Amino acid sequence: MFENLTDRLESAFKQIKGEGRITDLNIAATVKEIRRALVDADVNYKIAKEFTDKVKDRALGQKVLNAVSPGQLIVKIVKDELAELMGGSESEFITKGNPAVVLIAGLQGSGKTTFSGKLANYLKSKKGLSPLLVAADVYRPAAIEQLKILGEQINVDVYTDPENNDPVSIATNAIREARTRNKNIVIIDTAGRLAVDEAMMNEVANIKAAVNPQEILFVVDSMTGQDAVNTARTFNERLNFTGVVLTKLDGDTRGGAALSIRYTVEKPIKFVSSGEKLDTLDVFYPERMAQRILGMGDITTLVEKAQAQFDEEEARKLEKKIRKNQFDFEDFKQQLEQIKKMGNIKDLLGMIPGLGKSVKDMDISDDSFKGIEAIINSMTVLERRNPDIIEASRKKRIAKGSGKDITEINAFIKQFDQMKDMMKMMNKMPMGRMMGRK
């Protein structure tokens, strides 16, 4: 979502790159461009002005070391200030209670119900908790059905009460039910409206008073820009929520909400969500987001995603095979399966430092591996385990079975051999083993 802002900031940094030192003149030109970039990204002018004033003061107040260029220093200062603007550090999410209660609030269409399912999945799979989802939106039957479907998909119980039209009593009854079923966290999905109205505010405030939640999360569609910030302010004045969730972060938007909302309501962003898949929920790390905005990648998140999918014992076996140059097509196919589980391929590539800009205009879909899988599936078990035995007649049969040309088979096998050599080299380095270790 930050592609345009990233390009604009990179252009702003060019104002000072190549300069021997930071002066009032060249820093003024740079921060002016940064401020324009932020305002164009739908960041409130007051916030953008205050942000760039801090950048300017810090830049003029620091001595540029011989090992660091003025351009590098400005990038670091902007990264630090962006991270601070978005909260500085990861915010705690409270999951202790008897049971712990999480109240979900926001406008209709913001993604509350989908987020509720994603949060339940995250707390169950990543935190080992036993959640209960509560359908407290009595006005939209589709919301109840949607929550039921999401619950089935992640094998999480959903509390509904079709005969009850009072969201407050539904919420309180659900908490009693959670204790009976030994559930340790309750997630209450409340009703939304197309706009902020007094009836909605009263209702969600009454639910809050009745259940005394540990967390109140305001879910906001990040694509609504500055409107999202204004809505957050209104909700916070009434609910005093504990944190913000930004949804639809994969959308084509300018990113102003993510940069402005923390400053405006003085409440942390706790989660970010993209896409419809139930595993596309991430804890919000301001530092990592600042790095991604500046095109620095996010290698920490990439490694964490890899570690979540790679079994430690399997990783050790794989490492041993790579060291002995025994990595085969079966191993390769297994790695492809695990990579696909990590998330959207284009997003993953964008986390690699230096690759984000080069892949942003490329059409990379999650089906990118289908051709490779077809080739491997057309091999016999013997061929997969012994790539060296694949000669001309075997290649011809594999080409026919996979619907590929013989030149494509040759190219794939050549790339596979090159990859094996590279993997063997990388595994001799300490960083090369990091992906498989927890």
CATH number at residue 306: 1.10.260.30
**In which residue are the tokens 């309501």 written?**
265
Tell me whether residue 94 is in a domain: no
Q: Are 336 and 348 in contact (CB under 8 A)?
A: no
- Domain end (from 85, 116, 138): 85
Ramachandran area for residue 403 (φ above 0: left; ψ -120 to 50: alpha; else beta): left
Question: Distance of CA 81 to CAs 43, 90, 192, 294, 354, Å?
Answer: 14, 15, 34, 12, 21
- Say whether 160 sits in a helix, a strand or coil: coil
Element of type H or E holding 244: strand 243-247
Alpha carbon distance 8, 256 (integer Å)? 14
Residues 331 and 187 in one domain: no
Domain enclosing residue 61, as ranges:
3-85
120 pLDDT higher than 90: yes
Tell me whether residue 208 is in a domain: yes
The overall average pLDDT reported for the chain is: 79
Tell me whether residue 93 is in a domain: no
Burial call 206-237: b when 16+ CB within 10 Å, e when fewer? ebbeebebbbbbbbbbbbbbbebbebbeebbe
Burial class, 424, CB count within 10 angstroms (exposed 0-12 / middle 13-18 / buried 19+): middle
Residues 258 and 390 in one domain: no
Q: Are 176 and 163 in contact (CB under 8 A)?
A: no
Q: What is the CA radius of gyration of the chain?
A: 25
Instruction: Please give the structure tokens belonging to residue 372.
Output: 């490779």
Alpha carbon distance 409, 401 (integer Å)? 11
**If pLDDT is split at 50, 70 and 90, which confidence band does 360 have?**
low
Q: Is residue 162 reached through a cis peptide bond, with omega within 30 degrees of 0 on the bond before it?
A: no
Burial class, 135, CB count within 10 angstroms (exposed 0-12 / middle 13-18 / buried 19+): buried
> Which residues, 6 or more positions from 236, have their beta carbon under 8 angstroms from its beta carbon?
218, 265, 267
Percent of the chain with pLDDT over 70: 75
Structurally, the chain folds into a number of domains equal to: 3
Residues 173 and 124 in one domain: yes
Tell me whether residue 130 is in a domain: yes
Element of type H or E holding 247: strand 243-247
- Say whether 27 sits in a helix, a strand or coil: helix
Model pTM?
0.67
Q: What is the pLDDT of residues 160-206, one digit of tens each?
A: 888 888 999 999 999 999 999 999 999 999 887 766 778 888 888 99
Tell me whether residue 170 is in a domain: yes
Residues 152 and 212 in one domain: yes
Q: Write the CATH number for 70.
A: 1.20.120.140
Tell me whether residue 91 is in a domain: no
306 pLDDT higher than 80: no
Question: Which pLDDT score, from 0 to 100, does residue 433 have?
Answer: 46
Residues 122 and 48 in one domain: no
**If pLDDT is split at 50, 70 and 90, which confidence band does 72 have?**
confident
Question: Which amino acid type is present at position 377?
Answer: N
Residues 256 and 325 in one domain: no
- What count of residues does the chain have? 438
Mean pLDDT value of segment 222-238 = 80
Question: Which pLDDT score, from 0 to 100, does residue 345 have?
Answer: 57
